[in-house]
Structure 1
Amino acid sequence: MVRTKKNLYLTIEKLLKNSSFEQSSVSEICKLAKVNRSTFYVHYVDKIDLFNDYTEHLIAQVERELISYQKNLERTGVLPSYEKLLMHVQQHDYYYRFIFSPNAPLQFYFQYLRHIQTMIEESIMLDPSKHINADLYFAFQRTPILELLWNGLRKTFLYRLKKLTIS
């Protein structure tokens, strides 16, 4: 299963980089990944299900990368976690370009938003003594995160992480 997923993930990355994921069929994906279609269907319903699993994989990766910053938010400040997030986005820009593109199904965008919300809620739960309103906190955190992602993608990451400052 690990090798199968890895091959399928690499194939998704290749297709997203070539802007051909939407047009690809399960048969094409399996052929590129060197995975039998029957094996594919044991694990996934369709290519959307595969893409959702890939999204879960990327989100788990972001969570692992950001967890140390979230735990020490007061000591490190917000900027290091944004820098880490932008570095992740830069590494996987093909994915973010796809989910923020007008051609991508909205479900991918909303799935990503739900994951961001879950990450923010989990960071709030790290210190329940602060009595933070999760909905308001999410609203204030979501906007700058999405704006940074959108600007970074729109300007092809011409921003240097060093130049990012929070007033």
Structure 2
Amino acid sequence: MKKNDLRIIKTKKAIYQALTHLLKDKLLTDINVTELCREASINRGTFYFHYEEVGDVFKEFFEEVIRDLEESYKEPYKHISALQLETLVFKNLDPKTVRIFHHVKKYEDFYRIILSDNVSTTYYYMFFDAIRSNFIEDSKIGKYDESKKYVYSYMTNAIIGLIIEWHRNDFKESVDDMNIHLVETLNVITRS
């Protein structure tokens, strides 16, 4: 079967949604294959055709979310040349081009889970590393400076901090408002 097979896509989407639903009330380690299959309305054979264990589902879904996050992060820079990107100042960043918060809203249930108090910090660090790697990748267009690794970590935590605060406010602010908050935050950080 092909990776783009509609049946596979639908099955995996059902499994991801089932896992997300179960994670609202249980830890990942407490979810077994039988209850995941029941929640996804699939049989165990279908599950084992795609995965070995429940943790594999979470890992694959997390990777999908991170790929979408990376694409969302890069969206404002798609039409900027390498030279322009090297000299980009965040105050020139148009909040309407920011896509990170669209991404978070798209995967809101997932973020509610990984930002909850009962989830391992492992997922926070995976999330942190994914965002930070984008800052480092962008810096390689110019000259990567190892001494800026703390700046990249600081900027990463600024973005995650905004997402956490949005989560604490039950995602009530609009995506557009969050885009403006991000651009304002980045401008404050880069003034120094």
TM-score, normalising length from structure 2?
0.70
Answer yes or no: is 1:154 the counterpart of 2:168: yes
**For residues 1-150 of structure 1, what are the structure 2 equivalents within 5 Å?**
1-16=8-23, 19-22=24-27, 23-71=30-78, 72=80, 74=88, 77-78=92-93, 80=95, 83-125=98-140, 127=141, 129-133=142-146, 135-150=149-164
Instruction: After superposition, give the CA deviation of every residue in 1:80-99 in whole Å (9 maximum; x if it has no partner).
Output: 38942122212322211211
Ranges of 4+ aligned residues in structure 1 off by more than 6 Å: none
C-alpha separation in 1, matches of 2:52 and 2:129: 21
Partners of 1:66 and 1:81 within 8 A in 2: no
Amino acid at match of 1:131: Y
C-alpha separation in 2, matches of 1:109 and 1:131: 25
Percent identity between the two aligned chains: 25
C-alpha separation in 2, matches of 1:75 and 1:68: 16
C-alpha separation in 1, matches of 2:97 and 2:161: 11
Amino acid at match of 2:101: L
Q: Look at both structures and tell me which one has the larger radius of gyration over its CA atoms.
A: 2
Residues 155, 56 of structure 1: alpha-carbon distance in 2 compared, 3 angstrom cutoff: same
Task: State the secondary structure of the residue aligned to 2:99.
Answer: helix
Task: State the secondary structure of the residue aligned to 1:104.
Answer: coil
Q: How far 1:159 sits from its partner (Å)?
A: 3.4
Work out the number of aligned pairs and report it. 163
When the two chains are superposed, the root-mean-square deviation of aligned CA atoms in Å is: 2.8
Partners of 2:75 and 2:99 within 8 A in 1: no
Residues 21, 50 of structure 1: alpha-carbon distance in 2 compared, 3 angstrom cutoff: farther
Instruction: After superposition, give the CA deviation of every residue in 1:99-134 in whole Å (9 maximum; x if it has no partner).
Output: 121211222222222222222222223x1x343435
C-alpha separation in 2, matches of 1:80 and 1:100: 24
Unpaired runs of 5+ residues, structure 1, are: none
Task: State the secondary structure of the residue aligned to 1:146.
Answer: helix
Instruction: After superposition, give the CA deviation of every residue in 1:20-60 in whole Å (9 maximum; x if it has no partner).
Output: 35354221111222333233234323222211111111111
Unpaired runs of 5+ residues, structure 2, are: 1-7
Partners of 2:131 and 2:156 within 8 A in 1: yes
136-145 vs 40-49, greater mean Cα deviation:
40-49
Partners of 1:82 and 1:145 within 8 A in 2: no
